[in-house]
């Protein structure tokens, strides 16, 4: 626990009051968890997590299976609301606003925080309609063609599919499907993109493509990515959060530091493969 | 000529097990054969009776006349009033059951909590198990009096009550089968849509329903075939007057109601009136068969929209 405090302290030193909004948020912090716990029925999935996720950087979440990585990710855009019996305690601030406040509509929240899932899940619709889906439901359907093209370009898929936009999204390869899902998520221009093991179902070539893509995305978006692959976390992320069994956030800091010189012994053991 | 250490693959079980196995295979085969033979037998009887009928009555009159008066001194056999009656009930009941059934299915699949669903679904299925004659009495003793409150001239038997009661009868079929189809849509797709900021309504209407469409349409068609073939409730509610009328407050007669009338009446076996039963039965069979073929075609056509 003291490590968590240390991490929080480190951030607290450069706290700058940002306007009248209470509580004051670090200007570079876009998401902040405060003593966030999530339960499924009686099971505690994440245990009193506090962390600050910086804007326009890639934050990786790593940890052994079942330690609550997905749960944490899904608590950011309130996807856990869809799970019967899921319960949240504590606070999660997005741009200074607690998303678990009464007056927050999760639909509005999810329009600002896109999500990419472990298994590519394009709709059984055309490539075009897949990318246009979010734009249409969010009534951003002016210049639809342009926006669809731009999203596909950003997702590095345009060159492969520009002459077959009416083809069913399910007829693409797994890697292409995942890039289609990324295009779909960024088409509506969210501020944060959550990715839950986006490359774990892909071959090395497709994985490399997705990793390059994430690098590009971090220029415009805040990316939070769950991964099982430690090399991947080391390659693509600026910050790394290590969760360990029990849903505890054990260490959070600069990726280079976490991988070269972790403060916590259990983290060191996990990273070097002796644990987890 | 097998040596001692050669693997013996010739027997997978004792000789007795083998005998049981082949016996069971025969039992299954005979059961399947019985079903097929029964169906073929029914069709043969229908065709044979219809052929006898058409030896006496011109098939052209049957399909062109709009007068169905088999019991008159100068009988007339134009099937259209009966087809009309059947269509009124079928279309009317579909107008009721399709929207209500679909909305119920969407509610059960996308909105209701697990607990609510686990109570409501069996309840709907019980509704589907009520004998149709009970629905007929329900129409006579409840639906028609309500209609008469608004339209006092309505007769005891009227097409509207028939359509309403058949509609109510087939709602569980529409909703239960559609819900199965919607429930089978992978949760991944819902998650994808919710993740993009879709509302429950968005997810239901533009993700789940399109993905489940083939199953939903198949449910409609099965329910409609049921409405076409529905007999007791319709006979009790809509009456026995074969006529082509656009006024739903008038009695009509469906093909099935006519068959009840003849089957339970005192027409002598072999008379033309009695033989007409087979012609009407064959016509009815052709209609429901057509619906089932359409349903199969749709299922095959739209299968695998999601994988
Ligand atoms: N829908 C659910 N209902 C009940 N318990 C759940 C549910 N989802 C997750 N859990 C439990 O919560 C804990 C954390 O699960 P979570 O999926 O967040 O782990 P994870 O770190 O993402 O694991 P993995 O690396 O295997 O994906 C686990 O103990 C899991 O059993
Ligand atoms: Mg997970």
How many angstroms does the Cα of residue A133 sit away from the middle of ligand 2? 25
Read off the pLDDT of each residue in B167-179 and give the average, rounded to a whole number: 95
The verdict on B150 and B257 lying in the same domain is: yes
The beta-carbon neighbor of A119 closest among B188, B196, B210 is B188
**Residue B120: strand, helix, or coil:** helix
Domain shared by B116 and B171, yes or no: yes
DSSP assignment string, A91-107? EEEETTEETTSTT--HH
The predicted complex's ipTM stands at 0.86
Q: Which ligand is nearest to the CA of A247?
A: 1
CB distance A134 to A122 below 8 Å: no
Pocket test for ligand 1, best of A37, A38, A39, A43 (most atoms within 8 A of CB): A43
B45 with B84, same domain? no
Query: How much is the average pLDDT of B244-257?
Result: 91
pLDDT tens for A174-204 read: 999 999 999 999 999 999 999 999 998 888 8
Provide the CATH number for the domain formed by A55-82+106-271 in this structure. Answer: 3.40.50.300
Query: Is there a single domain that holds both residue B80 and residue B45?
Result: no
Chain B residues near residue A170 by CB distance under 8 angstroms: 306-307
pTM for this entry: 0.84
- CB B162 within 8 Å of CB B241: no
Residue A234 sits at the chain B interface (C-beta within 8 Å): no
Instruction: Assess if residue B63 is contained within a domain.
Output: no
Domain boundaries, chain A: 55-82+106-271
> How high is the pLDDT of residue A17?
33
Strand A43-54 to A29-40 pairing: antiparallel
pLDDT at B77: 92
The Cα B141–Cα B132 span in angstroms is: 14
Q: Note whether B33 and B136 are same-domain residues.
A: no
Q: B192-210 pLDDT, tens per residue? A: 999 999 999 999 999 999 9
Answer yes or no: is pLDDT of B3 > 80.
no
* CA B36–ligand 1 middle distance (angstroms): 51
Q: Output the pLDDT for position A271.
A: 86
Q: What is the pLDDT of residues B49-102, one digit of tens each?
A: 999 999 989 999 999 988 998 888 888 899 999 999 999 999 999 999 999 999
Q: Do B200 and B89 have their domain in common?
A: yes
Specify whether B146 is located in the same domain as B16: no
Q: Which residues of chain A have pLDDT under 70?
A: 1-27, 274-276
Q: What domain count does chain B have?
A: 2
Greater model confidence, B302 or B250: B250
Of B34 and A245, the structure prediction assigns the larger pLDDT to B34
Is A276 in contact with A261 (CB distance < 8 Å)? Answer: no
pLDDT over 90 (residue B171): yes
Is the Cβ of A148 closer than 8 Å to some Cβ of chain B?
Answer: no
Residues having CB closer than 6 A to ligand 1 are A 40, 43, 45, 63, 65-71, 83
User: Could you tell me which of B85, B86, B93 has the C-alpha nearest to residue B173?
Assistant: B93
The residue range of the domain holding B50 is 3-56
B40 and B168: one domain? no
Task: Check CB contact under 8 Å for B189 and A181.
Answer: no
The per-residue pLDDT for A104 is 93
Ligand nearest to C-alpha A46: 1
């Amino acid at each position: 626990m003291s490590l968590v405090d240390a991490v929080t302290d480190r951030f607290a030193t450069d706290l700058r009051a940002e306007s009248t909004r209470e509580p004051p948020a670090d200007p570079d912090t876009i998401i902040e968890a405060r003593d966030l716990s999530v339960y499924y029925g009686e099971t505690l999935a994440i245990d009193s997590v506090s962390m600050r996720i910086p804007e326009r950087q890639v934050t990786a979440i790593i940890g052994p299976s079942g330690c609550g990585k997905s749960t944490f990710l899904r608590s950011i855009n309130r996807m856990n609301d869809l799970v019967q019996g899921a319960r949240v305690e504590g606070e999660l601030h997005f741009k200074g606003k607690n998303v678990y406040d009464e007056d927050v509509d999760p639909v509005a929240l999810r329009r600002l925080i896109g999500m990419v899932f472990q298994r590519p899940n394009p709709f059984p619709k055309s490539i075009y309609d897949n990318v246009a889906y979010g734009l249409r439901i969010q009534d951003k359907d002016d210049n639809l063609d342009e926006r669809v093209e731009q999203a596909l370009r950003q997702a590095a898929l345009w060159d492969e599919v520009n002459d077959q936009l009416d083809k069913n999204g399910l007829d693409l390869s797994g890697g292409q499907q995942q890039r289609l899902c990324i295009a779909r998520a960024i088409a509506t221009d969210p501020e944060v993109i959550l990715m839950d093991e986006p490359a774990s179902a892909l071959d090395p070539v497709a994985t490399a493509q997705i990793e390059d893509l994430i690098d590009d995305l971090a220029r415009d978006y805040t990316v939070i990515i769950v991964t099982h692959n430690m090399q991947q976390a080391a390659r693509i992320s600026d910050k790394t959060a290590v969760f360990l069994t029990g849903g505890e956030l054990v260490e959070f800091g600069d990726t280079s530091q976490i991988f070269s010189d972790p403060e916590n012994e259990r983290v060191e053991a996990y990273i070097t493969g002796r644990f987890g | 000529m097998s040596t001692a250490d050669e693997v013996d693959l010739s027997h997978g079980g004792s000789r007795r097990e083998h005998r049981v196995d082949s016996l069971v295979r025969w039992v299954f085969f005979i059961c399947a054969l019985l079903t097929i033979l029964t169906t073929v037998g029914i069709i043969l009887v229908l065709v044979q009776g219809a052929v006898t009928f058409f030896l006496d009555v011109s098939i052209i009159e049957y399909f062109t006349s709009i007068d169905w008066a088999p019991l008159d001194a100068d009988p007339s056999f134009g099937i259209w009033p009966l087809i009309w009656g059947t269509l009124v009930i079928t279309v009317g009941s579909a107008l009721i059951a399709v929207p209500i059934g679909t909305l119920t299915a969407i509610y059960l699949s996308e909105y209701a909590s697990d607990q609510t669903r686990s109570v409501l679904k069996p309840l709907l299925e019980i509704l589907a198990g009520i004998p149709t004659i009970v629905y007929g009495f329900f129409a006579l003793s409840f639906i028609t009096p309500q209609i008469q409150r608004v339209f006092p001239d309505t007769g005891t038997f009227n097409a509207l009550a028939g359509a309403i009661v058949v509609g109510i009868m087939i709602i569980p079929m529409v909703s239960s089968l559609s819900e199965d189809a919607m429930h089978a849509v992978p949760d991944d797709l819902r998650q994808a849509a919710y993740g993009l900021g879709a509302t429950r309504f968005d997810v239901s209407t533009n993700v789940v329903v399109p993905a489940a469409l083939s199953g939903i349409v198949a449910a409609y068609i099965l329910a409609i075939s049921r409405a076409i073939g529905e007999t007791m409730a319709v006979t009790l509610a809509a009456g026995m007057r074969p006529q082509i009328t656009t006024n739903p407050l008038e009695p009509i007669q469906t093909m099935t109601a006519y068959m009840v009338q003849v089957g339970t009446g005192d027409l002598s076996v072999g008379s033309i009136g009695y033989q007409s039963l087979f012609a009407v039965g064959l016509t009815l069979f052709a209609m429901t068969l057509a619906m089932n073929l359409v349903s199969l075609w749709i299922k095959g056509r739209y299968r695998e929209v999601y994988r």
